[in-house]
Chain A
Amino acid sequence: MVSLLTVEGLSGLLFFGFIGITLAGAIIATSARSLIRSVAGLALCFLGVAGLYYYLNSPFVALMQILIYVGAVCVTIIFAVMLAESSELKQITSRNGLVGPLAFLASGILVFALAGLALKTEWRPALCMVNRGTVENLGQSLLTTYSMSFELISVVLLVAVVGSLVLARAGRDK
């Protein structure tokens, strides 16, 4: 029994707030008519997911989520929307009317299957913990166990930056 007016109760309420923000942002992101609004919904959804990460004992990943996704990815998408504005009026063109309901059906089946699997399986927790998963442990394992992947991901990011510059530059003189 947890009363509402204790610390646990209030943090439980806040958790529901984060779930609501996440799902509302995701629904806005997929169903808003204008692209700018759906990017705003995406930013809202990422904020909610960052809150959920905080509840999962990883404040560092929550901060990185806000910094990278809300601060960088969403802003980049907004720039692309501004550079390549689509006219909203000719949005509904020749299109099969069955696409919406079929998409809803397919995603509904997927969600039902995944959620059912998650609820039915009997998850066994680990017998012993190697460490507590603090920021210090995270930094140590990033620079020892996963140092190779860390370097590789830097190379991937470098190639992606150079490649996107080349792609966006091609045909600019026209």
Chain B
Amino acid sequence: MYILVLSNNLQTYLVIGALLFGIGIYGMVQRQTFIGMLISAELILSGASLNFMAFNRFLAPDPTVGQVFTLFIMAIAAAEAAIALSIIIAVYRNYKSIDTEDVVDLQG
């Protein structure tokens, strides 16, 4: 049963990271609300950190580098989510909508 030792294989994690990234890109293009786009951005970030952790586990000579990087990505993602959500609430207060099609005042 070769398939049961996939957890000890670098390529498995890289393919999962690529899938998360692709699903995030799909949601980013296809979603119509700001909160939906923020959720897709979080998916893209977690795909990237999964790649970092995989390389850290299998290839890096110092296995703390990737973990530190992933912790920093988490902090940046939390800051980004806080800022984006407060902007969304401000937009909702002015437009009474979080639909991307409604906030088009600057459109030519």
- A171 adjacent to B90 (CB under 8 Å): yes
| Residue from the list B4, B5, B11, B53 in contact with A61, Cβ < 8 A | B53
Q: CA of A29 to CA of B1 in the docked complex: distance in angstroms? A: 33
If the complex has contacts A45-B46, A60-B67, are A83 and B92 also in contact, measured as CB distance less than 8 A?
yes
Q: Give the chain A neighbours of B15 by CB distance below 8 A.
A: 115, 118-119
Interface of A is mostly: helix
- A164 adjacent to B83 (CB under 8 Å): yes
Q: CA of A162 to CA of B38 in the docked complex: distance in angstroms? A: 20
Total A-B pairs, Cβ < 8 A:
261
Q: Give the chain B neighbours of A100 by CB distance below 8 A.
A: 30
| Residue from the list A68, A115, A157, A164 in contact with B14, Cβ < 8 A | A115
If the complex has contacts A4-B4, A9-B4, A164-B86, are A56 and B78 also in contact, measured as CB distance less than 8 A?
no
Count chain A residues whose beta carbon lies closer than 8 angstroms to a beta carbon of B.
98
Minimum C-beta distance from B12 to chain A (A): 8
If the complex has contacts A83-B92, A132-B63, are A77 and B85 also in contact, measured as CB distance less than 8 A?
yes
For A136, the closest partner residue in chain B by CB is B64
If the complex has contacts A45-B46, A115-B15, A165-B86, are A12 and B3 also in contact, measured as CB distance less than 8 A?
yes
Within 8 A of B (CB), among A156-173: 156-157, 160-161, 163-165, 167-168, 170-172
Q: CA of A94 to CA of B43 in the docked complex: distance in angstroms? A: 27
If the complex has contacts A111-B21, A111-B22, are A77 and B56 also in contact, measured as CB distance less than 8 A?
no
10 A-B residue pairs with Cβ-Cβ distance under 8 Å, sorted by A, are A12-B4, A26-B23, A35-B36, A53-B50, A76-B81, A118-B14, A126-B60, A133-B62, A141-B65, A156-B76
